[in-house]
Amino acid sequence: MSAETEELYSLLVPLVEERLIVPRACVAEVVRFAKPEQEEGAHDWMLGTINWNGRALPVVAFEGTLGKDVPAATGRTRIVVFLASTGQLKTGYFGVLTQGFPQLVRVNRDVLKLEEGAGGWPEDAPVLCRVKMINEFPLIPDLEKLELMLARESLQA
């Protein structure tokens, strides 16, 4: 197998204190922040929905799913639109609040290593693990678990 086929185009998604690393193929678009319409009774991490291409797009603050404070929107805030892969969401997409534009990176076995013993998030958080990537320590989110969490919210009922 060639080295070229073992590389994966990924995005480093900036949060307030963390970064997520996700395959580029999971992301449909990055859009300007629009204030979501909130629904009463939803978890703090569930910010509400925005109109995206004629769809009601549920938007979450990933920090909130980690038990941290939900960040306030700034001029750099964007929404990363992810493709929903489990079939649990009617919209087929969901958004994650980000603090700036995601950075495109190419990763392979030489630059990406599992960060042993890393944690610091609740057991039920949608996180698979933390990795070391040169000088970065991004989280790999469990996007399927995040979709399931969204599907359980009343917005999807």
CATH number, position 124:
2.40.50.180
| Diameter over CA atoms, the chain | 52
Q: HSE, CB side, 13 Å, CA atoms: give it for residue 28.
A: 16
Cβ neighbours, 10 Å, residue 50: 20
Higher-confidence residue: 149 or 39? 149
Residues in the chain: 157
Number of domains in the chain: 1
- Quick: pLDDT tens for 91-108: 899 999 999 999 999 998
Q: Which domain holds residue 51?
A: 3-156
Write the DSSP string, 88-146.
--TTSEEEEEEES--EEEEE-TTTEEE-TT---S-TTSSEEEEEEETTB--EEE-HHHH
Angle value at C-alpha 89, between 87 and 95, nearest 5 degrees: 120
Q: Across the chain, what does the average pLDDT equal?
A: 90
What does pTM read for this prediction? 0.90
Angle value at C-alpha 50, between 44 and 55, nearest 5 degrees: 130
The arithmetic mean of pLDDT across residues 24-50, rounded, is 93
Cβ neighbours, 10 Å, residue 77: 15
The arithmetic mean of pLDDT across residues 119-124, rounded, is 82
22 pLDDT more than 60? yes
